[in-house]
Structure 1
Amino acid sequence: MTGRRRGLTILAVIVVAISILTTATLAALVITNYQHLGRLAKVVHLVNREYLEPVPFSTLVDGAMKGIVGSLNDPYSSYLDPEQYKQLFEQIQGSFTGIGVYVSKRDVNKLVVVSPIKGGPAERAGLRAGDVIVKVDGEDVADMDVDVAVSKIKGPEGSEVHLTIFREDGQGFHEMTIVREEVQIPVVTADFSEQDKRIGVIQISQFNKIAANEVDRALRRFKDEGAKGIILDLRDNPGGELDSAVDIASNFIPEGPVVHIVDRSEGTETAYSTRDYIGLPLVILINGGSASASEIVAGAVKDNGTGTLVGTKTFGKGIVQMVMELDGGAASS
């Protein structure tokens, strides 16, 4: 019993020491950042007291959170308020109301069209991959978070949005007015080539929740009907979910790793194949609009030597993003 009491005493001392160390560390952080926190509190007080109209405290908090993420100066990181997160979720599910266009920040102050959705209002209006969106309804979007800019492009079905775009091929500025509508995302289309009925062609427009199952279905059909090769068309595919990319890539490489993800501490997480290798000759079509998950699939095939990449240089987004849900329906990515 005496030994047990001694052990408990030592444990209690360790716990107290850790508690003191933690408290001291937090205190040091607070002291170090006291001036910044004080200025933040003062700004909130001044807005509440001096601003022309009352502002809900929740609006100020949302603005602060947007500012925190925005201070990273990272075009792929953003704070999504509940409405913006809802719109992102709808897009992942396969439909949304807008003009039918995928955009990304090529650098911090350039909102670039990755690709218009085939058959959507943006494509019909003449918007092209590579176009730079400069203004939305007369408002400059260069310095906006990409999700804020997207929320301004989207809107109620039947309403209009006016875009000012810049074409970097020497054609200069263009003005476009596009009517918003409900856009159904054609995730996967698959059929035999018109030029050679022995070749199955699969075109993927986005790596969302249903894409992998649709690709599985297409490959089963091609094998059952005696296909001798596959063309996988990832042109103008802006990416999507990591799990979907891993599942789809798994059809085209032998059992093993699909992608290695390195985190901030240099730790590596590896995603492994989840499907049986189909074993047919493969060509993957890519271009400047092939981004993110598309690059994961193309890269896995290239690294394993199981197919040939044909096309032009891809978009170049070598980053895996996570969407982390927050309370109140918001999220951060």
Structure 2
Amino acid sequence: MEHASQKNKLQKRNANIIKVVGVCIVAIALFVAGFMFRGNTELLTAMGFTSFTTKQEANPGQTVSGNTYNSLSARVAEVQGIIANDSVDTYDLNAATTATLDAFIKTMNDPYARYFDASSYQTYLSSVSSPSTGIGVLFGESDGSCYVVDVFEGSEAANMGVLPGDYVEAIDGEKKDQWSLPEVTNTLRRDEGETVYITWRRPGKDNAGGTTFNTSLRYENSPETNITYSVTNGIAYIEIKQLGSDCAEVLKQTIAQAANEGASALVLDLRNIPGGYLTQAVEIASLFIQSGTVVQIKSGDTTTTKTADGAEVTNLPLVVLVNEKTAGSAEVLASALQDSQRATVVGVQTQGKGSVQVMQPLSFGGALRYTAATYLSPSGRAIDGVGVTPDVVITNTERQVPIALEIAASNR
């Protein structure tokens, strides 16, 4: 009798677990279905846009079959029944949920889709709300691995020889096969004066192998400059490190200062920018383009167009530098200036990360990240998975800036 009672308790517990997992699966399915049918006005508003044009394409054949989800529910219910009636084993609810949702997401073709459990989601939120810059390093992420986008001049990291392109191998002795950007920024959160020990990997050819080296870095509370410039022989070379929330306004001031110093042509360096605010990409494009489309955002069968706001501040000849790590909003900016024939794009093919990811909190404590839209250039060219092809291809990194300056000078 005691054994039977224990089995009944286990059956009830297992049944509850399967019910919860089943609800999770159906909830995600219904969420995806709902997203396919709603317009993307909310998405654009969340991205910071208050003015845009939306076009709904006719697609009468696109439907979401209720039978698909009912079938999925039925399969979960079948497993639930078997476990409830026959299993004497026990399960961890959180582990079961993670395993089930990870498997669900793996059936998608979205390389950026990921389920975050409650703990990893909180880590992500912390990394977004309080990014670590105290060691003078700007981080990015490529294929799930955190790497150095830029090292600020005069910082501890610069003095220790850390270079753009280095990957995080270990932090304070903790080594992982792959450190994500949220994991790194969260782990590196320290107070001024504290020290962190980081092992870096400098990739070899084709990003494989390479060498590792160790650094001891002390945290300094010093502001880093996001935009730097210099004027030589009438050419202003302007480097942007990231498309932050005030980048367009700072760039506007920088252009004015460069003009006062005699600049008659501009070189805008967008190399190694891993993305940033799309609104800033649009506002920066508007500094050079008075009117016309800057970017098209395609979500399902709906295409939204964002245009220049008429705030053009300069008509000086412009050259834009890009490379294989120019991504996201920086690619949007480069393609807008290229399609409008406002700038000559120089460098190598960009990364091709032309998509919008949304982090959707879930009712049971975690979150779902998924791709909600993709970017198209003003002329309708795809950016995601393709990138921006330069007008002038220069594969030699050391020659890119000198050639860009030469082209800018010849365009005056």
TM-score w.r.t. length of structure 2: 0.58
Q: Deviations over 1:66-98 (max 9, x none)?
A: 84797468554444523421321334xxx6445
Alpha-carbon distance between aligned partners in 2 of 1:135 and 1:40, rounded to the nearest angstrom: 42
Q: Measure how far apart 1:65 and its partner are.
A: 9.7
Alpha-carbon distance between aligned partners in 2 of 1:164 and 1:173, rounded to the nearest angstrom: 8
Question: Which has the larger displacement, 253-262 or 161-170?
Answer: 161-170
Determine if the alignment matches structure 1 residue 159 to structure 2 residue 195: yes
2:289 partner SS: coil
Alpha-carbon distance between aligned partners in 2 of 1:167 and 1:124, rounded to the nearest angstrom: 20
Determine if the alignment matches structure 1 residue 33 to structure 2 residue 76: yes
What aligned pairs does 1:138-287 form with structure 2 within 5 A after superposition? Answer: 138-142=174-178, 145-152=180-187, 154-157=188-191, 158-169=194-205, 172-179=210-217, 181=219, 182=221, 184-190=223-229, 192-193=230-231, 195-196=232-233, 198-223=234-259, 227-263=263-299, 265-277=300-312, 278-287=314-323
Q: Measure how far apart 1:224 and its partner are.
A: 5.5
1:163 partner SS: strand
Match of 2:139 in 1: 102
Q: Measure how far apart 1:207 and its partner are.
A: 0.7
Amino acid at match of 1:113: Y
Question: Which has the larger displacement, 288-297 or 155-164?
Answer: 155-164
1:320 partner SS: strand
What aligned pairs does 1:96-135 form with structure 2 within 5 A after superposition? Answer: 96-97=133-134, 100-105=137-142, 107=143, 111=145, 113=147, 115-119=149-153, 120-135=155-170
1:81 partner SS: helix
Q: Measure how far apart 1:209 and its partner are.
A: 0.8
Q: 1:81 aligns with which of 105, 116, 121?
A: 121
Q: Is the 8 A contact 1:75 1:145 kept in 2?
A: no
Alpha-carbon distance between aligned partners in 2 of 1:97 and 1:260, rounded to the nearest angstrom: 36
Alpha-carbon distance between aligned partners in 2 of 1:327 and 1:183, rounded to the nearest angstrom: 39
Q: Is the 8 A contact 1:116 1:122 kept in 2?
A: no
Q: Is the 8 A contact 1:155 1:180 kept in 2?
A: no
1:209 partner SS: coil
Kindly report the root-mean-square deviation, in angstroms, between the aligned alpha carbons of the 2 structures. 3.9
Alpha-carbon distance between aligned partners in 2 of 1:116 and 1:295, rounded to the nearest angstrom: 18
Residues 148 and 141 (structure 1), Cα distance of their counterparts in 2 relative to 1, 3 Å cut: farther
List gaps (5 residues or longer) in structure 1. Answer: 1-21, 49-56
* Count of residues in correspondence between the two structures: 289
Alpha-carbon distance between aligned partners in 2 of 1:293 and 1:176, rounded to the nearest angstrom: 33
Q: Measure how far apart 1:223 and its partner are.
A: 4.7
Q: Is the 8 A contact 1:138 1:164 kept in 2?
A: no
Q: Measure how far apart 1:242 and its partner are.
A: 0.9
Q: Measure how far apart 1:241 and its partner are.
A: 0.9
Q: Is the 8 A contact 1:247 1:275 kept in 2?
A: no
Match of 2:25 in 1: none
Q: Measure how far apart 1:102 and its partner are.
A: 1.5
* Percent pairwise identity: 25
List gaps (5 residues or longer) in structure 2. Answer: 1-64, 370-412
Alpha-carbon distance between aligned partners in 2 of 1:261 and 1:68, rounded to the nearest angstrom: 29
Q: Deviations over 1:215-274 (max 9, x none)?
A: 1222344456664222212222222111111111221234111112222x2432222213
Residues 24 and 322 (structure 1), Cα distance of their counterparts in 2 relative to 1, 3 Å cut: closer
Q: Deviations over 1:86-141 (max 9, x none)?
A: 321334xxx64456231312x36xx2525133234444332333334445534223
Alpha-carbon distance between aligned partners in 1 of 2:180 and 2:109, rounded to the nearest angstrom: 10
Alpha-carbon distance between aligned partners in 2 of 1:254 and 1:156, rounded to the nearest angstrom: 44
Q: Is the 8 A contact 2:105 2:113 kept in 1?
A: yes
Q: 1:47 aligns with which of 73, 92, 105?
A: 92
